[in-house]
Chain A
Amino acid sequence: MRMVSLRNVNFGYGDVPCLEQANVDIFFGEFVTISGQNGAAKTTMLKLMLGLLKPWSGTVELARRNAGGGKLAIGYVPQQIAAFNGAFPSTVTEFVRSGRHARGSWLRRLDQEDRRMTEDAIRQVGMWEFRHRKIGELSGGQKQKVCIARALAQEADLLVLDEPTTGMDQESRLGFYRLLQAQVKDYGRTVVMVTHNLTEMAEYLDRCITLERKEDGGWKCCTTTSCSGHFAPVG
């Protein structure tokens, strides 16, 4: 079953196109990465998938329901989120718990289950001892972990992460890839992640989407590849 589908999508900023005839399918329960050089429209593609940007032409379809028939929950961690307002007066727990607000009614009272999921998410990213700290006081890598914890606490059906390992050391990165793999394998979630560390995380992935520059100019084309290195152009 398709989670996200891009068909003949064209998009650009101003008059300058940056994504041409992109065709991508991402299925339920897949762990997929998007990679490419700087300026290759990786973030743009994520935002198109999420409906945050509207394509010039072509269609973007995002599933509305999860596999169980409930409303699809999306956990999104934007690229620049770790550079958030340093003065934001929120504790790590308060911030991660806000991921639970998006489940069900925004006015519902948070219960024991919400507390447990919040605590689990903080533990999973290794931030338990910092749970009472203000997020503005954390380092870049720690902030990134907290943002990821919020997406995990949300129990999202689709996790969309834009370069989430920026600022993390290697040990944390590898632990994080395993964590995401477990989200896919154990809970059937779908993970779409922009990364520059393709080699490092190849063994955890199902598929990767590579954005490449065309030979005839500044346009980008889109190719998908299995992680065994099998290229199959679809753009």
Chain B
Amino acid sequence: MLHYDFMQRAFCAGGIIALIASALGVYLMLRRQALMADMLSHVSLAGVAAGIYLHIDPTLTGFIAAVAGAVAVEYVRRAYKTYSEMSVAIIMVGGLSTAVILMSLARATNKSFTSYLFGSVVAVNRTELLLMGAVALVGGAFFYFMRRPLYQMTFDEETAKTNGLPVKWISLGFSVITGMIVAASIPIVGVLLVSSLIVLPAALAIRIAPSFAAALVISMGIGLAGVFSGLAASYQLSTPPGGTIAFVLLVLLVAGIGIRKATYKIRKLL
């Protein structure tokens, strides 16, 4: 399977995104922003539709829309401090309604949205691969250099503020990075399943990891395993890669939780 050029690119793109998206997932989950990935993917869809309608590269417009959505959510989140999840609902409605209108207008151009909705990792082109590489580099650098401030902020923003951290700016930077990673992940699993890459590995890692550092490593490992095995299964079974990857990640999560519970019960019996 790896002698095909498109499969090499698919594994390369999938691997890059699996690593960065699953690390992001740990922070998103712990900041109680798990739905942010879903929300930004819908905003990104509006950008894609706008790109198709205006005859601009949809990947670029989708990317810009996701980043703009991330900045917007940060501002709305501050306006609704007590109900910060409301910002997700507000921006999601804005993104999705714009997407529906623009998609309807863009239908006249006879372009299909299927690959954006469900992903087509095997059709990833060189430009998209380069974009993913760049996003992974920027995201990786952000998570590495900001790992300690992010840890403090993830635990408690007020304590982080009293420690002299520019919480507002780091939080904005985090949102922008989230938008970039979501936009870069869309070619892999599509708008509708993008949160699977971000949330599912982190959901299992947080349950089983013995420490915070381990949670990040485990999440990246699960993400990588899920994407690679999903791609291989998709090739063997001739199933859509995006859906197969998301399904494999879900199976890994259920199996992981099941094994953990069983191990706990066995230990108790012994």
Contact = CB atoms under 8 A, between A and B. Distances in A.
Interface of A: 47, 50-52, 71, 74, 76-78, 81, 84-85, 87-91, 94-95, 98, 101-102, 106-107, 132, 134, 154, 160
Contacts of B210: 89, 91, 132, 134
B215 A89 contact: yes
B30 A98 contact: no
Interface in B131-168: 145, 148-149, 151-152, 154-156, 158-159, 161-165
Contact of A50 (B30, B162, B214): B162
Contacts of A101: 148, 151-152
Contacts of A160: 162
Contact of A74 (B145, B163, B213): B163
A98 B211 contact: no
Q: Per DSSP, are chain B's interface residues mostly helix, strand or loop, or mixed?
A: helix
Contacts of B162: 50, 52, 74, 76, 160
A107 B140 CA distance: 15
Contact of A106 (B30, B148, B213): B148
Contacts of A95: 155
Nearest to A150: B159
Contacts of A74: 162-163
B64 interface: no
A95 B152 CA distance: 9
B156 to A, nearest CB: 6
Interface string B78-108: 0000000000000000000000000000000
A106 B149 CA distance: 7
A49 to B, nearest CB: 10
Contacts of B161: 50-52
B152 A84 contact: no
A118 to B, nearest CB: 14
A84 B206 contact: no
Interface residues of B, number: 27
A101 B212 CA distance: 15
Contact of B211 (A71, A76, A89, A107): A89
A95 B155 CA distance: 9
B158 A52 contact: yes
A136 to B, nearest CB: 10
Contact of A94 (B30, B154, B211): B211
B207 interface: yes
Nearest to B149: A106
B148 A87 contact: no
Given A87-B206, A89-B212, A89-B215, A98 B156 contact: no
Nearest to B32: A85
Interface string B200-216: 00000111011111110
A168 to B, nearest CB: 20
CB-based closest 10 A-B pairs: A102-B163, A76-B162, A89-B215, A101-B148, A90-B212, A89-B209, A74-B162, A91-B211, A106-B148, A89-B206
A94 B159 contact: no
A76 B162 CA distance: 7
A88 B30 contact: yes
A89 B213 CA distance: 9
Most chain B CB within a 10 A radius of its CB, from A50, A84, A98, A132: A98
A94 B213 contact: yes
13 contacts: A85-B30, A88-B154, A89-B211, A89-B215, A90-B155, A91-B212, A94-B212, A94-B213, A98-B148, A101-B148, A101-B152, A102-B164, A160-B162
